[in-house]
Structure 1
């Protein structure tokens, strides 16, 4: 009896070890630090949804889309998150690097120009004669030329100051610049944290001022996707669980963010997350079509808008940029 139990234990141990070894490793490169809107990813990670799907997932922060995309394209990371508009330009400039988007995170991007009423910024045209603080690798600043064209802004009358991400909002709070580019939910909340009264902040969302673009996406390395299609599908299925739970209960979901960011304040990140859900994640299109999908016609039109102010060398098609084949069925992606 003892020998039988010993053999059974050894067999069970070997099965468990085999299952662990069978887990597919995925290193994920986020495009930014862990803030409220990252809750769906961290919730899925910490609640074990990736592990249950047979994946060994690690996640790292980043310094913007221009940092995350090359990491995934090179295979240093198998998957990641970045702005799809930056990806479109990257693919145009690097046609041999077939990195693709496979899941839409922000159906409406949070790109914004954020200013202060006390500094004379209330409409896009008010930017003429002013100083705009814009980090060079910022995803919102990448849309600046299209934004000026859509709003009839004379760009020659706007002074662009290249500022670092950490000093962007402090400089606006101190009046050293009149407006900044950034993600709406981050710049708005950071300005309040820097002492700017809420009623003095102007948020000019680019999607409400002439631009119809998509936002951040999940990326995959092409070689990894070809060799591990089921693992990529499993990752997205687990991620959809994270999105559903986050949208259903943001207050619970944001705790997974603060668990990964020691300096984050829960009430601040919750406000940031709720803004992202309302403006960027749970749009009418998502309610109709489910998390993660795109309308290829809309994506093509957004590329037309990019072409208004960007000279494509060999413009990629929408199908070359976004591959929906890894998405779970639509009925499984619908918000609860």
Structure 2
């Protein structure tokens, strides 16, 4: 009964927001919408606000979809959620997907839309502990990270690019929610983050006291979280295409003007601090709207870049087999290039 009540409230709220935001008046007969379960990589924040904009303005409904959006347990966990069939679509790390393919050759899970054109992976350290923007400054330091987390798992690839040892520093395993605390208290010297997730730390420690070490500047190009789907691609390919059309439409609008997307996430999570979320989105968009996405369109990838990333994953994790790039990322479901061009 509680679940039904939540769904009713969520649907009612979404409809109300849609009206407020000026969604097109599209009426579907009862029972004609295709239900679709979508898992985020983490909490509801401005990082994924375009999906909530698509929901609030009725873009999913325009495509004949009834999309439910659930919070995630990390960008790696989304892969297993989709692979298990618990979710139809998810947002997960593409390097981890390549590793999953190497270990599960028959998996139907593929990336179909590259959301983060560059992975927002960073290590943030305290300057008073000697951490600078040089990765070598981490030598002998303690770095906090969750046990299963994309930034941590990608570190060996960065170490390889830097021609240093992965054991440059020691890991301190902690929960996602505890990273800020252990950095602030000084229990560790640094911690891993998605760059845009670090705004919570920036709110507690002045930026001038922190050093941000960006994986993106270590000479290694890594794609980040992508939209993933599994059996849906074979069983209901048009549904996957419809989801991407609606999401892409909302992403383009959010990049042009994010205020409506901010209103959508605020309606979903009333406790959100919108000043923080605006700061977060300002960082997020740097990893979504890149020079490459200007060239290949939102959601697309360059074959050579993806192939190199898969080669790195295969080598660093000593995988028994190297998955083919076309098995990891399938562009067949993308909207037309003209629809994915970034609005300047």
TM-score, normalization by structure 1: 0.91
Provide the residue aligned with 1:103 in structure 2.
113
Q: Which runs of structure 1 show a deviation greater than 3 angstroms over 4 or more consecutive aligned residues?
A: 16-20, 152-157
For the residue of structure 2 that corresponds to 1:238, the secondary structure is helix
Distance across 2 between alignment mates of 1:229 and 1:160: 42
Residues 207, 18 of structure 1: alpha-carbon distance in 2 compared, 3 angstrom cutoff? closer
Please give the residue correspondences for 1:172-251 in structure 2 after superposition, counting only pairs within 5 Å: 172-187=183-198, 189-193=199-203, 195-221=204-230, 223-251=231-259
1:163 aligns with 2:174: yes
Distance across 2 between alignment mates of 1:247 and 1:144: 29
Provide the residue aligned with 1:56 in structure 2.
66
Structure 1 runs not aligned, ≥5 long: 1-15
CA root-mean-square deviation: 1.6
For the residue of structure 1 that corresponds to 2:31, the secondary structure is helix
For the residue of structure 1 that corresponds to 2:280, the secondary structure is helix
Structure 2 runs not aligned, ≥5 long: 1-25
Aligned residues, how many?
317
Displacement of 1:18 after TM fit?
7.6
Please give the residue correspondences for 1:271-310 in structure 2 after superposition, counting only pairs within 5 Å: 271-278=279-286, 280-310=287-317
Provide the residue aligned with 1:270 in structure 2.
278
Displacement of 1:252 after TM fit?
3.2
Distance across 1 between alignment mates of 2:94 and 2:165: 27
Q: State whether residues 114 and 301 of structure 2, in contact with CA within 8 Å, keep that contact through their aligned partners in structure 1.
A: yes
Provide the residue aligned with 2:18 in structure 1.
none
Residue number among 71, 87, 93 corresponding to 2:103 in the alignment = 93
For the residue of structure 2 that corresponds to 1:105, the secondary structure is coil
Moved more, 280-289 or 256-265: 256-265
Q: State whether residues 125 and 152 of structure 1, in contact with CA within 8 Å, keep that contact through their aligned partners in structure 2.
A: no
Moved more, 229-238 or 18-27: 18-27
Provide the residue aligned with 2:124 in structure 1.
114
Distance across 2 between alignment mates of 1:291 and 1:211: 20
TM-score, normalization by structure 2: 0.89
Q: State whether residues 133 and 177 of structure 1, in contact with CA within 8 Å, keep that contact through their aligned partners in structure 2.
A: yes
Q: State whether residues 38 and 87 of structure 2, in contact with CA within 8 Å, keep that contact through their aligned partners in structure 1.
A: yes
Distance across 2 between alignment mates of 1:131 and 1:109: 23
Please give the residue correspondences for 1:27-66 in structure 2 after superposition, counting only pairs within 5 Å: 27-66=37-76
Displacement of 1:17 after TM fit?
9.6
Displacement of 1:112 after TM fit?
0.9
Q: Which string of whole-angstrom CA distances, capped at 9 and with x for unpartnered residues, describes residues 156-209 of structure 1?
A: 34121111111112111111100111101112x11122x211111211110111
Provide the residue aligned with 1:8 in structure 2.
none
